[in-house]
Amino acid sequence: MAAASLAHAKSEVCHATSDKQIAALFDRWNASLQTGDPKKVVANYAPKSILLPTVSNKPRLNAEEKLDYFEHFLPRKPVGTIDSRRIEIDCNSAIDAGLYTFKFGDGSQVKARYTFTYRWTGKQWLITSHHSSTMPEKD
């Protein structure tokens, strides 16, 4: 079985991409937040993915759990801004990690660390894991 997996990996065609294209995936996700529609946000995630959100202790492992999270998060009218990032690209996968700030409709904001991992499906890039946590130290 390991030999079959290795043979498949060798035959896999790597989808060409760039740091700019991977950075644009955050913009796509952030724009989906602005719609206020949790289903549009969840559409950015692969069916088999994990969300470890900023303002919830519960890991979100399926679409229903992600919908539940965003149904409660989106009414706050979040807008994310990248403060710093590092992008790593591999064959049909990419990581975008760094710091971002969310500003909310009430004027409040939260600074957080993030990691998005992406996988090319053959048609589009989808989030396979998303971790976000508030900064542990105050400025």
Express each pLDDT in 16-50 by its tens digit. Answer: 999 999 999 999 999 999 999 999 999 999 999 99
Express each pLDDT in 80-132 by its tens digit. Answer: 999 999 999 999 999 999 999 999 999 999 999 999 999 999 999 999 999 99
Whether the CB-CB separation of 115 and 99 falls below 8 Å is answered with: no
Helices marked H in 1-139 — which ranges?
2-11, 19-34, 38-42, 63-73
Rounded Cα distance, 60 and 49, in Å: 8
CATH numeric code, 16-134: 3.10.450.50
Look up residue 89 and give its two tokens: 């690209």
Rounded Cα distance, 132 and 115, in Å: 7
Residues in contact with 98: Cβ distance below 8 Å, sequence separation at least 6, in sequence order: 82, 83, 84, 85, 86, 113, 114
Whether the CB-CB separation of 94 and 87 falls below 8 Å is answered with: yes
- Return the pLDDT at 3: 55
Q: Which one, of 120, 136, 119, lies nearest residue 128 by Cα?
A: 119
- pTM, rounded to two decimals: 0.89
Rounded Cα distance, 67 and 38, in Å: 6
